[in-house]
Amino acid sequence: MGKNEENDALTKNKPSTEKDILSELELKMKKYLRGESANLEGLKDKKLKGQLAIKEQLYGKSAQAAAKAEKWLMPSEGGYLEAEGLEKTWRIKQETIAQEVDISSSRKQYDIILPELGPYTLDFTSSGRYMAVGGRKGHLGIVDMINLSLIRELQVRETVRDVVFLHNELFFAAAQKKYSYIYNREGTELHCLKEHGPVLRLQFLKNHFLLATLNKFGQLRYQDVTMGSMAGSFKTGLGRTDVMQVNPFNGVVSLGHSGGTVTMWKPTSSAPLVKMLCHQGPVSALAFHSNGHLMATAGKDKKVKLWDLRKFEVLQTLPGHANTLDFSQKGLLACGNGSLVQVLRDVSGTQNYSRYMTHSMVKGYQVGKLIFRPYEDVLGIGHSTGWSSILIPGAGEPNFDSWVANPFETSKQRREKEIRALLDKLPPETIMLDPSKIGTVKPKREKPTKEEKEAEIEAAVEAAKGMKLKNKTKGRNKSGKRVQKKQDAVTRVKRPYLEQKIQEEENLSRKKQKTSEGVELPKSLQRFARKKPSS
């Protein structure tokens, strides 16, 4: 009897575990689904409707496969610092963290001091394997972050304002004193971008293969690095600025200006897509969350603001000033000002950020650039006397997808990935505020019926008849003149509807005439066709 009861209990518990697993997979599927499915009910084309329905099924299957892979195949999980009792995470020092982590992680915490060549700016590849460094006094270099070995360094002997990797670690661009240059991994100069002028900031759009530059005259330019052509060149008209960032979700370039405004641009529009007032003083830094819906701005008014880009509303305002901002892959926000670095975290998941970690640099070090290393819990700091690296638990994505970014890829895999990226290259026209609109069905605009038009005309006529007229003197207030004025008002109201009706009739007659001219009658009926007048 006891064995039977145990078997019954096991069979009762089994479905509940399966249900738990299914519910967990459903939650994970939502993360991988490509938004809401398209509404196909309004489509009349059966073939197109069937094709889109098959695509939607494929999207669902791929999301399910990704959810299963995350559930059963992901080797590691992310974690954060957790305080006990009254302890605060932001009080934990880097020395304490270095004592607790393993040897390979402790190696990622270091300081490189080069006071004669700073201040430094940094950039990582999408896989986080390689880092490009640029010193203001002309020092350029590429570092392998896994081996911590210097691949190549060169001295250009002029001012370097910014560096950025192109589609992989083989090419990088540097904004120098007079022009921007593109170098290969060996340090050989490949191109001189004279058309861009003295550039202050560089950004690379990896899905579109576009190099975006902002020069000191306030001009924004886009260079297609595959064809070498200029994709767009615009004057912002808001003066000089060195605040520029790309939204990773949609490829829109955002600029922060001295008037406190933030403008958003795409290469096919000479006017900004959005122009929003963010601060009461100059904008000093910008950063975008990887989901593309959250933007962080810092201004000289000593405020850091978080914005919801779907509504263009402020979600949170934090006190403090920041010269540089950056979001990690897991949503941590790093703020740097002077010699202090602060990391903020959204603990509750409701876009309510609070202090997570702090780090004080050596007195006199001025932080110039903060950038999180992809797929690692590491924050890179470019400062006035070199660059540093500190550990931020929970910052990076714990698992990498080798099809997207592989830190251990071979030369053959890199070639295949480069060819695939070139084949999948997106045209500049696909850059827009809401890229999810691409591929959706545009709803057909229904014309108003005859009864609705008549009702609209009647309502407009009644409103015109009920209009009150001003009392006038010297015989201009007679009843005959008042009736005439009301009649004129009614005709003015009716005129646009009548003109529209006449236009529609003319268009219909033209269409009929074209179709009748294009159709050739059979020989037996051609003698009844209307003959064209001879000229």
pLDDT digits (tens, 9 = 90+) for 482-512: 777 778 888 888 888 888 888 888 888 887 7
Provide long-range contacts, Cβ within 8 A and 24+ apart, for 173-178.
173/202, 173/204, 173/211, 174/134, 174/140, 174/202, 175/199, 175/200, 175/201, 175/202, 175/213
423 & 308 share domain: yes
3-state secondary structure of 171: strand
Report the range of poorest mean pLDDT among 120-124, 130-134, 442-446.
442-446
Q: Cα(287)–Cα(334) distance, rounded to whole angstroms?
A: 10
In sequence order, the 6+-apart residues with CB closer than 8 A to the CB of 184 are 170, 171, 190
Percent of the chain, pLDDT > 70? Answer: 91
Q: Is 70 exceeded by the pLDDT of residue 396?
A: yes
In this structure, the number of other CB atoms found within 10 A of the CB of residue 181 comes to 18
Confidence (pLDDT) at 14: 44
Average pLDDT over residues 303-309: 94
Whether the Cβ atoms of residue 222 and residue 234 lie closer than 8 Å to each other: no
| Structural domain containing residue 375 | 89-435
115, part of any domain: yes
User: pLDDT band for position 533 (50/70/90)?
Assistant: low
Confidence (pLDDT) at 534: 60
119, part of any domain: yes
Q: Is 60 exceeded by the pLDDT of residue 22?
A: yes
- DSSP for 73-139, written as a single string: T-----------TT--GGG--HHHHHHHS-HHHHTT-EEEE-TTT-SEEEEE-TTSSEEEEEETTSE
User: pLDDT band for position 519 (50/70/90)?
Assistant: low
Tokens 């003015």 correspond to 492
153 & 281 share domain: yes
Report the range of poorest mean pLDDT among 21-25, 193-197, 302-306.
21-25
Average pLDDT over residues 49-71: 85
**Cα dist. 309→216, 324, 433, 441 in Å?**
28, 20, 9, 24
Q: Which residues of 320-353 are buried (b: 16+ CB within 10 A; e: fewer)?
A: ebbbbbbbbbbbbbbbbbebebbbbbbeeeeeeb
Confidence (pLDDT) at 121: 96
Report the range of poorest mean pLDDT among 343-357, 412-426, 501-515.
501-515
User: pLDDT band for position 472 (50/70/90)?
Assistant: low
460 & 368 share domain: no
User: pLDDT band for position 305 (50/70/90)?
Assistant: very high
Q: For Cα atoms 294, 248, 226, give the angle at the middle one, nearest 5 degrees.
A: 160
219 & 108 share domain: yes
Beta bridge partners of 144: 130, 149
Whether the Cβ atoms of residue 102 and residue 370 lie closer than 8 Å to each other: no
381 & 484 share domain: no
Q: Compute the mean pLDDT over every residue in the chain, rounded to the nearest whole number.
A: 87
Confidence (pLDDT) at 6: 46
Q: Any alpha helices (H) in 238-296, and if so which ranges?
A: none
214 & 168 share domain: yes
Report the range of poorest mean pLDDT among 38-52, 120-134, 222-236, 239-253.
38-52
Quote the radius of gyration of the chain (alpha carbons, Å). 32
Q: Is 80 exceeded by the pLDDT of residue 152?
A: yes
353 & 425 share domain: yes
391 & 481 share domain: no
Whether the Cβ atoms of residue 256 and residue 273 lie closer than 8 Å to each other: no
Confidence (pLDDT) at 11: 45
Confidence (pLDDT) at 514: 66
pLDDT digits (tens, 9 = 90+) for 368-381: 999 999 999 999 99
463 & 430 share domain: no
382 & 471 share domain: no
Confidence (pLDDT) at 13: 44
The count of structural domains within the chain is 2
Confidence (pLDDT) at 431: 93
User: pLDDT band for position 322 (50/70/90)?
Assistant: very high
164, part of any domain: yes
Q: Is 90 exceeded by the pLDDT of residue 17?
A: no
Chain center to CA of 308 = 12
pLDDT digits (tens, 9 = 90+) for 65-102: 888 877 777 766 778 888 888 889 999 999 999 998 98
Task: Specify burial of residue 78 (Cβ count, 10 A radius: 0-12, 13-18, 19+).
Answer: middle
Q: Is 50 exceeded by the pLDDT of residue 266?
A: yes
390 & 414 share domain: yes
520, part of any domain: no
513, part of any domain: no
518, part of any domain: no
- Specify the DSSP element, H or E, that contains 498: helix 479-518
**Cα dist. 223→10, 220, 309, 334, 431 in Å?**
65, 10, 27, 30, 15
158, part of any domain: yes
Which amino acid belongs to residue 6? E
210 & 289 share domain: yes
Whether the Cβ atoms of residue 396 and residue 374 lie closer than 8 Å to each other: yes
Q: Is 90 exceeded by the pLDDT of residue 278?
A: yes
Average pLDDT over residues 294-298: 95
Q: Cα(350)–Cα(241) distance, rounded to whole angstroms?
A: 32
Closest to 109 (Cα-Cα) out of 122, 95, 121, 119: 95
Residue 182 belongs to domain with CATH number: 2.130.10.10
In sequence order, the 6+-apart residues with CB closer than 8 A to the CB of 450 are none
Task: Specify burial of residue 299 (Cβ count, 10 A radius: 0-12, 13-18, 19+).
Answer: buried
Confidence (pLDDT) at 76: 67
Confidence (pLDDT) at 491: 82
User: pLDDT band for position 18 (50/70/90)?
Assistant: confident
Tokens 């700016």 correspond to 121
User: pLDDT band for position 392 (50/70/90)?
Assistant: very high
Does the reported pTM lie above 0.85? no
197, part of any domain: yes
Of the two residues 417 and 9, the one the predictor is more confident about is 417
Average pLDDT over residues 161-182: 95
Closest to 404 (Cα-Cα) out of 125, 35, 124: 125
Q: Cα(165)–Cα(387) distance, rounded to whole angstroms?
A: 18
Q: Is 70 exceeded by the pLDDT of residue 309?
A: yes
